[in-house]
Structures are given as structure tokens and as C-alpha cells.
Structure 1
Amino acid sequence: MTRIARPTWKQYGRWALVVLLTFVAVQNTASATGGRYLTMPAAAAVLCGAALLAPRLPWPVAPALATVAAAAWGWPLLPLLLVAMFELAAHRRAPVAVGCALVALVANVFTDPVTALWTPQQYGATLFLMVAVVGGLWLGSRRRLVESLNSQVEHLRVERKLREQAARAAERSRIAAEMHDVLAHRLSLIALHTGVLTTKADTLPPPIAERLALLRTAATEALADLRDVLGALHDTETGSAPRDPVLREVDELVEQSRVAGQHVQIDATGRPEEAPAAHRLAVYRIVQEGLSNARKHARGAQVTIRVCYQPPTTTVEITNTAGAPAPGVVDSGFGLVGLRERVTALGGDLVAGPTGAGSWRLFSTIPHPADLAQNGWST
């Protein structure tokens, strides 16, 4: 079922203006004919007003009627012709509007009505017609400019939304690739140790030897499955998966930043081994993003990092004082989007924003899995 659009306030205003001008035209024709209302000029005024208000008439009808009426009976019908010409100019039909004005002025000379367009002042009607055309051109240009700006704003909004979605998808792919490396390392250790034990199967009971062989086969197949899954995450342009180093310690990242000239202070509570591997990866990425943002937007600022790996939550806080922005830096603005996607996937929260006096704070909490938090051990 099609929905009928409700009229806007501009449409209501146009209708009121046309009705008012039609009433004025009828009054003027009555004054020019000795107070009689049932005359041809009055009927022409009503017909022109109805044509201007009719929504589904072909567009040339109303201007043609107004032009003929003004040419035949002069200035009482001029207001309705001005409305028609204004709308023609606003809809990029200025040549048609100028043609209507010329036809009305020239024809009015030959019809020579009592209230001719040339009667009040010799060039008065011409001036009004020119103002109507110019006003219509200005309004149409402004309307198209506003529509173009609205279209650009909508396009930018959609583009930003798509970029945010792409950033989230890229972060999820990066998480999956990193966890592949972690799991592959541990599965390879299982396969290695079970392989060593199977070489001594002669000294083991047959059921245990059989279980070890099954365990080694399962670990090998799991490694193959992980490689297949990672293949789906390959970059279609480069043909290779991201090979960022995994389970790197935050201290290495801080030391690199200090060598680059940043003033960084770190305070770590607990050991990284107390947190799950996914948490350690998230902490590394958060610290990396925080230091990168400080280099871009607060050059020379003091950066303070606080990390806690102990259950029940892994927390990381990065604050920096005010500083000068680095020259020529173009920030995509989607680094925090990817971080938030990563932290949310782990069930945590991430907050970023100013804290006053030009400083900036990046804070995240990631809860440990329930069974790990209760037993006090990690993967």
C-alpha cells in the first residue's frame, strides 16, 4: 500500500498565498467593472487560482492560463501571473517564464483593456515580472544547493558507517589470526610431546599407546583445520594473512616508544601469565593505540600506563597530558572503533575521552572467564 505524503508547512503557505492572491484578483476585477463579481475577468482569476493549486495538472497549464488572463484583462490578473512565473524560474524554466512575460506585455498592447498592464506606470508591470523571474531563479538555486548539501551529508554518514563496519570486521579478522598463532603453537607442542611418547610405545601399555597415537593424530588434524580457517582470513589483495607478532609483552612496546622519544611511565600489577592469551593480545593493542594517539595528538606529552593482569578483570589505563599535535598527521578515527570491537567481543568495556586540561584517557576492563577467575589460573 502506497503512503500518501502529508503536506508540509511550505505547501500550506503556498496554498494560502494563491488563495489570497485569487481573492485580491477577483476584488480588483470587480472594482474595475463597477462592483460586479460575475464577470469573465473574475472567472478567469478563479480558474487561474485553481490551476495553480491543482497538484496533478501538466506544468504548462497554469502559466498558460495566467498569461492569457493577464494579456486579456491586464493588471488585476498580474499577481497570479507573477506566481506562475516565479515557480517556472524556480524549477529551471526561466526561458519559459520570460516568454510568458513578453507574451502578456505585447498582447496587452493589442487588447488594450481598461486595466492594461501599462496603465498604472509605464514600466511597473515589467519590473514586477523581472523581479518574479529573478526571485524564482534565486529560490531554485538555493533549494538545489540545500538538497546537494543534504545529499553529501547523507553520503558521508553512510560512508562513515561502512568504514566503521570495515574496521570492526578487520579487527575480528586480526583477532582470529592472532588466536590461530597462539593455538597453533600450543597444539604443535601437544603433537610434539605425544610424538616423542609414541616412539616409546614398546614400553607402554597398549591402551595408552593407542590413546597417545590418537591424541597426536587429533592435534595434527587440528593444526590443519586452523590453517584452513586462517586461509579464509587472508588479505585478498596481498594474498597473505597478517603476521603481527603475538603475545609480545607491553614492556617491549614501551621501550620502543621511549627510544622514539616518548616520555612513558608504566605500572604493571600481576604477571601477564595470569590473564588469558586473548586478554594479553587486547592489552598489547590498547597500549599500542594509546601510544600512537599520544604521538599524533600530544607530541612531547607524558604518557602513563597502568596494567593489571590479576583476576577477576584485566584492566588497562593510558593517560597523557596535553601536547602539540604532530604536523601533517591525518587520523582515520577508526582505531578506537576496532579496539572497542575487540574488547566488546571479550565481554569488556572501553572508554576514551578527554579528562580536562587537554589530557586524554583510554581505559578498558575485560572480565576473566568465570572458571579461570575462580581457580586463579589462565590459559
Structure 2
Amino acid sequence: MRWRNRAGWAVFGRALLVCLLVVGIVVGGEGNNAVVDVAAILCGAALLAPRLPWFLAPLLVTAAAAWWPSLFALLLVALYDMAVRSRARVAVACSVLVVICWLIREPWVGVPWWFAALSMALPLVVAVVVGLWLGSRRRLLEALDNQVQHLKVESDLREAAARDAERSRIATEMHDVLAHRLSLIALHTGVLATRGETLPTDVTERLQLLRTSSTEALADLRDVLGALRDPEATAGAPLTPVLRDVEELVEEARVAGQNVEAGIEGHVGLAPTTHRLAAFRIVQEALTNARKHAAGGNVTVSIDYRPPTTLVTITNTAGTAAPGRVASGYGLVGLRERVAALGGSLRAGPAGAGAWQLTARIPHPTSTEPDGSSS
């Protein structure tokens, strides 16, 4: 904080002033009096020592200044320090004691005693008043700084509360909008699948696939809604669904009528879990886009898990746009964010002759060890 920086410079300036005063007393001296020089050095050391009892330095400086008026400047520093620390009564008492000692030891001839006392006390009073003002200002700045910190913490807590409330609201809306419809899809497809003897085989298979997909979507939605409603419950665990096999995803696409060829190189355990999940999501999004924008085209899926880079390439030939498709446009954005978070890159674009290619490169962490597990 700015006031703390200023306080640090004030401490440095005070230490420099004390050192200069001690040097001035030792060099100027009172007739090269070694006792005064030693007293000045001791008083300066007491004023600069950080861990001495608070009363030791003022007591030593007051006694020395009462005996040797040449230490008057060091007395001003001691009085200022006591006033800054809200010990004004002790500072006034020390000032009165020093003035009385000076009047007794060196009476002013031809000058009224009250005028002499006032002349001696005026600089001491100024030091005390300045110390009280600066000490009050320092405490005020410290209180304001603490208040600012408190307000910042309170603002952070309010922001977190608002964020949690928004997460809960989003979860509720997602549940109301999606869960009901997915449940209806699963229910009706299940009812139709039970009448498989009256339906063609391919229709029955697609109904079963639709029921399975809707049930899995409900499970994934439940996990996401749980994370949205209670982020603390999943703070220590990754917010990822159970890993599924890419080959299973390809098989589901074939059952749905897509022409998909898949080739996987390298053991799946060579890649980190995050890479395997990213590869699954990339293939899932690519197959979905191919169904929407290139129905009837051929799709080639290639995955290489071998270090140093997990490489995922999906290419689809030209096809026809699926009727009744729902436009989104955010799937590739989400994939780019996911791949970028893993330190990789994703490229999507035309591949000639109406084809489209999606390529993702995700470098392996240098510390990753093969875990031997399969997705």
C-alpha cells in the first residue's frame, strides 16, 4: 500500500536523521568531551534499536539531555517518537523534567524565569504536537487501509455468492428445459423398442441407440448440474464424465447410418487421461458435424496416442445437409478452448473437393508416465 511505502521511507529518514545528529554532536562536541560523545552514541543507538523496551530510549535520552544540553536534538527525536506512539503524557513529563533541570543548572541572568522556561519548552512542545499529528494521521491511514481490505474481501465474498446463485439458477433452468425432454425421449423410445416385433430391424436398432444415448445424456447432465449446484463437492476431483472408448462412439455412428472408418495407433495408456477425454470429445463433435452438414459422406477417424503428441484427425467427404438440423456454431469454439488448455492446437477447414478436416495436436507432458489403462 502507498501509506506503507511512505511509512518505510519515514523510518529510513528518521534513522538517517539520528545518525547525522550523532555525527554532528561527536564532531562538534563540547570541547572534545569524550563523555558527551559516548552519551550521544548510546542515545542514538537506543533510538535506533528496534527491540528495546519502549521506555528505555526516552529515559536514557531525557537523562542525558538534562545533563548535557548539546543532546537537545536527540531529545526532540525521542519526544517525537513517544508522541507518534500516543504516549503524549510521558513526552510532556520528560519535557518538563528537562526544562526544570536546565533552569536549575544554567539560570538565565536578567531574563524572567517564565520567559526562559517558555523559550526552552517551545521546541519541545512543537516536537510533541507534530508527533501527535503524524501519529494520528498514520493510524487513520492504517484504519482506512484495513477498511479497504475488508471491503475487498467482502466484495469477493459477495461476488462468490452471486456466482454460486447464478450457477444454481443455470442448473435449475437446464434441468427444467433439458431433463424433462430427455426423459420423454428415453420413455417413448423405450416404449417403441418394446414393440420391436412389429418394426423393421434397423428401426428397432436406431430406437435402442436413441434410448441409450438419451439415458447417457441424462447421466452426463446430472453430473454437470451437480457440479453447478455444489462446486465445493467436486473441488478435489476432476469434473469429467466416465471415459468412453472412441471405438464405441464410432460403432454408434455406424449404427446410426454413418460411413465411418477408424484407425487408432499407439496404446491408449500412453496418453494422459485428459488427452483421451479430449480425443473422445473431438471425435464426438466431428461426427455430429458430419451428420449435420455432410450426411451420406464418408468419415475417416485417425488417432495416434504415441508420444510426444496425441494427434487426432477427422476427415469427411462432401455430403448433403441434414434436414431439420439445429444450428449451434459453438462446438468448435469449445474444442479449441479445451485443446488450448492442454497446450495444444486445433485446426478445422476445407480439405479439397468439398471435404472437411479437423486436426488436433496435443503435446504430452514431460512428466507423464504410461498408466496402462484403457479408455
TM-score, normalised on structure 2?
A: 0.51
- The answer to whether the Cα contact below 8 Å between 2:80 and 2:127 also exists between their aligned partners in 1 is yes
From 89, 100, 106, the equivalent of 1:106 is 100
State the Cα distance separating 1:221 from its structure 2 match. Answer: 7.5
Letter of the 1:151 counterpart: N
Which amino acid in structure 1 is aligned with residue 100 of structure 2? Answer: V
Indicate whether 1:69 and 2:84 are aligned: no
Residues 192, 46 of structure 1: alpha-carbon distance in 2 compared, 3 angstrom cutoff:
closer
Aligned to 1:85, which of 79, 83, 86? 79
Amino acid at match of 2:155: R
The answer to whether the 8 A contact 1:177-1:233 is kept is no
* Cα-Cα RMSD: 4.4
For residues 219 and 41 of structure 2, the distance between their equivalents in structure 1, rounded to whole angstroms, comes to 85
Q: TM-score, normalised by structure 1?
A: 0.50
Task: State the distance in 2 between where 1:24 and 1:55 align.
Answer: 23
Query: 1:25·1:76 contact (CA, 8 Å) conserved in 2?
Result: yes
Is contact 2:167-2:228 (8 Å) kept?
Answer: no
User: Whole-Å Cα distance in 2 between the matches of residues 131 and 121 of structure 1?
Assistant: 16
Q: Tell me which of 178, 185, 197 is aligned to 1:190.
A: 185
* Aligned-partner residue type, residue 22 of structure 1: V
Structure 2 segments unaligned to the other structure (5+ residues)? 231-325, 338-347, 356-375
**3-state DSSP class of the match of 2:11?**
helix
Q: 1:146 Cα deviation (Å)?
A: 1.0
Work out whether 1:150 is the aligned partner of 2:145.
yes
Secondary structure, in 3 states, of the residue corresponding to 1:121? helix
1:71 positional shift: 1.6
Deviating above 6 A after TM superposition, structure 1's stretches of 4 or more consecutive aligned residues are 205-208, 344-348
Bigger-Rg structure (1/2):
2
What SS does the corresponding residue of 2:117 show, helix, strand or coil?
coil
How many positions carry a matched residue from both structures?
A: 239
Q: Matched residues, percent identical?
A: 55
Seen in structure 2, the aligned counterparts of structure 1 residues 20 and 229 have a Cα distance that, compared at 3 Å, is closer
Determine the C-alpha separation between the residues in 2 that align with 1:213 and 1:68: 100
For the residue of structure 2 that corresponds to 1:123, the secondary structure is helix
One-letter amino acid of the counterpart of residue 84, structure 1: A
Given that residues 83 and 128 in structure 2 are in contact (C-alpha distance below 8 angstroms), is that contact kept between their aligned partners in structure 1?
yes
Alpha-carbon distance in structure 2 between the residues aligned to 1:13 and 1:156: 32
The 1:17–1:151 alpha-carbon spacing in structure 2 relative to 1, beyond 3 Å, is same
**Cα–Cα, structure 1 residues 218 and 313, in superposed 2: closer, same or farther, change >3 Å?**
closer
Quickly say closer, same or farther: Cα 1:124–1:347, change in 2 above 3 A.
farther
Whichever residue aligns with residue 140 of structure 1, its letter is G
For each residue in 1:101-150, what CA deviation from the matched residue of structure 2 results, as whole angstroms up to 9, or x when unmatched?
2222334445x15899x799332121222111111111100001111112
Moved more, 91-100 or 150-159: 150-159
The match for 2:122 among 102, 121, 127 is: 127
Where structure 1 has 5 or more consecutive residues not aligned to the other structure, the ranges are 31-35, 236-309, 315-343, 349-369
Alignment of 1:294-373 (within 5 A): none
